[in-house]
Structure 1
Amino acid sequence: MKQLLTLGAILLTVAVSPTHAALIGQPELIERSIPAPAGHVVNGMLINFDGQLFGQQLLVTLTQGAIFQDPTNPGDGPPIPDPFFPVNPSLSADTYVTLGAFASSPGSSSMLVVGGSTELGVSGPKQFDTEALNVAWAPAPGVVINGGAHFPIAQITLTNTAQGSWRLYSSSGGVGRIVSGGILNGRLYNVPEPVSLLLAGLGFAAVTVGQPRHRARL
């Protein structure tokens, strides 16, 4: 019992004591309430980070379903707002990467899409279509973004039958970090980190060990 609690305390200290500026916690995954084609889910991905923001890399892999792509927007940034949205409402639900806002202005920062990912174990050129995403982007030269909370980095619109997985490499403060998650019925969700899973398991074990045992009466 004592050993379990001691190990849990050590891991908790490691988990909550920041040693470097970097991505904080898991990405925030939200369902956006905006006009979208029928049968689609609009997912927003936001991050919290310390230090200066650098490159972001994203992989989205589907085993079924599709990624919505509006043909009028290439995805290298948010679509241009009014007067186009009233003419083409589905444009607001387009899939794209961004830095700081879910619209081209105000709030979004100038950025540069540099190609495909290099840190997520997948090689090859950029892919940004209805089947998969493999994209890397960063602040444009001369653009400095320091620290951010609830900071949008991508909008990903999926059919409500979509299933698969996603991986994100996020670099800030000179530290890169990889997080991952799943996709179910068109919605993105986080996968708990190993430390969180271990802490939860230790907590359950500690409670179980601490419970009195009763001998069954025959």
Structure 2
Amino acid sequence: MNYVFQWGIVTHALPQLFSGVLNTLAIALATIVLGIPLSIALASARDSKNAALRGLSMGWVEIARNTPALFQIYMVYFGLGSLGLRVDSMPALIAGITFNNAGYLAEAFRSAMRVFPETQIRAARSLGMTGPQVFWYIKLPQVMRVVFYPITNQLVWAILMSSLGVVVGLTNDLMGVTQNFNVRTFRTFEFFAVAGAMYYLLAKLVTVSARLLGNRLFRY
């Protein structure tokens, strides 16, 4: 093997790589922040008496869970573009991953809502609380306790899926920065090895942080 490793090149590129890490994390967080209210709406619509809402929810979940995430991103970036609706790389990536996150989290929220005791709702309504107040102050906090770790898993998944942004021209996330340096220096192994380690450490950081936060929030 005649390959000579040149880790010094990667060392000089670390500031840009760390900037890419921050952008990757920001993208993933954005998809979760947008995905949670969408997933709650989808979960509620799935049990709605309105057939149109049930159909929309079921269709969304089925597409999100049974087609590749890359397909969903492509449909936003290239599909809408072919219809004359131009969407930039980052919004397309966020929209595609958000669509995916909402589909997966909708089932988690739906399951959590179904095990919620109805007696608590009747007790809250008997005290004069409105429907929105019951949902916000009684139901949602307990549901969030159940779906906290699924949300954490989906955040890790969103971090990893954000690497797909490179195929729609995104250049400022970790994978985009890594690819740019790879093209300029041809040091494929070094840059992608470091990028892989960064993805791994970022995922572990999120997992450990969520576990510590969960232990503090849900101690009882």
TM-score w.r.t. the length of structure 1 is 0.29
Which structure: greater helix fraction? 2
Which structure: greater strand fraction? 1
